[in-house]
Amino acid sequence: MYLAYSLLLSLGLIVLIPHFLFQALAHGKYIAGLRQRLGSIPPVKGKPVIWLHCVSVGETQAARPLAKRLKQQFPQHDLVVSTITLTGQTLARDVFRSQAASVFYFPFDWRWTVRRALTAVNPAAVLIMETELWPNFLRECKTRRIPVALVNGRISRQSYRRYRLIKSFFRRVLSSLSIAVMQSEADAARLEELGMPKERLFTAGNLKFDAELGTELTGKTEELRKRFAFDSSLPLILAASTHAPEEQIILETIQKLRQKQPVRLMLAPRHPERFNEVAGLLQKSGLSWTRRTNPPNPNDANATVILLDTIGELPATYALAQIVFVGGSIVDKGGHNVLEPAAAGATVVTGAHTHNFHAIVELMNEAGALVQLPVLENAAASDELAYVFEKLLASPAEREELGRRAKQLITTNQGAADRTMQLIAPPIIAANAHTS
């Protein structure tokens, strides 16, 4: 079965070569770190190594409280961090610059690339964030007796249905995990149904509840506030992690709102390769606008729309906005992280499609800590959004209460990082004793 998986992986990469080439030439994706993706990773020598793997930006942000505790509890170890995406790599190099001995790209999941990477890094333990279960990588770790922990694990309903189609193979993949620490009981139940032994399966909550706003982000917030003259007298709506056609829907919403009251918009597309595409929409909108990456200009203070075309700055913007709309939720992309704006005490609005964060959105709905829209056709979405935004802007007390409940929910559910550390520390300690 592993051979069939490797052949399918190779075939898939061959079929997708034209797509990869286009993305590499047009956006610089995939070509970055190609040598590392092929397993040529700079050797990590000296201390025992803990390898923390994140996929992209969301997992990297979520891993911050765990990385902090790993460095505190295991100062005799080096921490290394891997990502798959370019955006995740960029952010990881920034946020882990004082904690990680090395940040690199995760290897393609062929046995020879995995073996090269593991030989170079020689980890004492591997921690995998959320759902990154690469069969050949896990199998090779098991062969080398390297403990692997799945942390902040989650299995969405869609993923669960897909994995059930290959349940016998997936059970073998899960047998390579030393421990799985899941976000919720529902996630744990799905993983157990897929074959994870119950004695190695635990629930610790979601690390995203423990996310901290770094001092560098606080400084960034003030920089943005001053440059763009954000103040409460002119409301700011932040549209975060948007996908097409959500940007067009949001722009139409702002145009409708501005017929009744002045309002500003900060627009943060989910994928950097779409920044120029969204800039084209802004150019056609008739609204005054600027890009974050443009040189500072006195007109920045008067721009109706600010395009946040940077990586890693989004968490610094939540405290600036009266309302935060979290994208990937009007279109069916599963939604994005509602906890970061909630932690900032923002008034959070999201669409109906939030299956990637089902448990969190459910908690926030139960606590009355966010506004969730019904399922909307694109044509009707701007009218509904305009109505919701107008109602919230007219009621500061309601916005304040939504923000207060959101922050209280965060406080109540914190502690996942400490609980996770209690569960994963014994395998790391045992691995260190074995290798010493």
Query: Each residue of 159-187: b (16+ CB within 10 Å) or e?
Result: bbeebeeeeebbeebbebbbbbbbbbebb
What are the phi and psi torsion angles at 106 (to 5°)? -70, 140
CA-to-CA distance for 305 and 83, rounded, in angstroms? 32
Look at the alpha carbons of 24, 15, 39, 85 in this order and tell me if their dihedral is positive or negative.
positive
Closest CA to 376 of 385, 386, 363: 385
280 contacts: CB under 8 Å, gap ≥ 6: none
| Residue length of the chain | 436
Tell me if 259 sits within 8 A of 345, measured CB to CB. no
CA-to-CA distance for 267 and 275, rounded, in angstroms? 10
Is 59 catalytic? The answer is yes
Torsion angle of alpha carbons 359, 361, 367, 369, nearest 10°? 150
**The pair of three-digit structure tokens given for residue 248, joined into one six-digit string:** 């067009």
CA-to-CA distance for 154 and 258, rounded, in angstroms? 41
Torsion angle of alpha carbons 93, 96, 98, 100, nearest 10°? -90
76 contacts: CB under 8 Å, gap ≥ 6: 47, 48, 432
- Integer Rg of the chain from CA: 22
Amino acid identity for residue 94 in this structure: D
Strands (DSSP E) along 334-416, which ranges?
Answer: 347-350, 371-372
Half-sphere exposure (Cβ direction) of 368: Cα atoms closer than 13 Å:
7
Active-site residue, from 59, 130, 246, 340: 59
CA-to-CA distance for 436 and 434, rounded, in angstroms? 6
CA-to-CA distance for 16 and 232, rounded, in angstroms? 48
**The pair of three-digit structure tokens given for residue 312, joined into one six-digit string:** 């890693």
Look at the alpha carbons of 44, 426, 107, 86 in this order and tell me if their dihedral is positive or negative.
negative
Q: Which residues are catalytic?
A: 59
